[in-house]
Amino acid sequence: MTTTTSATTAAATAVDKASAGIGERQYHIGVAPGEVSTVALLPGDPFRVPMIAEFLTDVRTVAHQREHLTMTGDYKGRRITATSTGMGCPSAAIAVEELVRVGVTSFIRVGSSAGLQAGIAPGDLLVSEGSLRNDGTTAAYAMTGYPAVPDLAITAELARTARELTEGTRAKVHTGISVSDDAFYAETPEWISTLHELGVTNVEMEASAIFVVARLRGVRAGMICSTSSNLYDGTSLYSGVKEALKEGWMRSIEAALETAVRLEL
């Protein structure tokens, strides 16, 4: 048997992951069609899914496998799903892929992100207008120049709603280009300075995968995060800012929920 024939035979029998699991209970997140809404909020941390549930009525836990906790409930008459993605692009991509397979058509990441420009304080809200792909996962999906961009209407509504919710408070709303990094502890002062000079607003670990996978699968995505720290001016996550961060989480969740209702996602 020639090498070409062997490769052809292998290709004919290899699993096609692009079609695997469609219409079935999903392997990683444990969710089946009919158990979720058409819109899903995506925190990284499974412990923040119950924070989303505080805003909902008729809440039930759908599944909890690995880092993926899924709960579903109602907000102002609209069914809402929340699924945690875990940390980083690999697990976030899996969550989006499998949620699409069971019927989700819109995603809003709600989480934590560090500021990279002066004037961004813990508890401020950050709305991404696009993500610099400093991750390995999206390289497996698309060429280097393929942009990681959110849905325009979702992004605009997140920013508008966030400004309404922060009016009269000390918290501010910032919009701009974010970056998704793979290696939290590999972010050197030199890298942070480079990002700052490029005008990048904030850094987190999941948005690029969520945006790219959503685009390739023909669904919608956006992101609003609470500021955990400012890496440019040295405001550290570890220096007593957790209360402000939590306030930002709750505002970001409410902004995402209001966006889902207003846009009928």
Q: Note the pLDDT of residue 14.
A: 87
Question: Does residue 5 fall inside a structural domain?
Answer: no
Is 20 within the bounds of a domain?
no
Residue 235 lies in a domain: yes
Residue 229 inside a domain? The answer is: yes
CATH value at residue 96 = 3.40.50.1580
Task: Report if residue 93 sits inside a domain.
Answer: yes
Give the Cα separation of 145 and 139 in Å (integer).
Answer: 10
pLDDT at 172: 97
Query: How long a stretch of residues is the chain?
Result: 265
Beta strands 78-83 and 39-42, pairing class: parallel
Residue 3: inside a domain:
no
pLDDT at 108: 98
Query: Is 11 domain-assigned?
Result: no
Structure tokens at 86: 């875990």
In the chain (265 residues long), the average pLDDT of successive 10-residue segments reads 59 81 92 97 97 98 97 98 98 98 97 96 96 98 97 98 97 98 95 98 98 98 96 74 87 98 98
What was the pLDDT predicted at 239?
62
- Report the distance separating Cα 105 and Cα 218, nearest Å: 8
Domain span including residue 216:
26-262
Total structural domains within the chain: 1
**127, exposed or middle or buried, with CB in 10 Å at 0-12, 13-18, 19+?**
buried
Q: Is residue 210 part of a domain?
A: yes
Between CA 250 and CA 101 the distance in angstroms is: 29
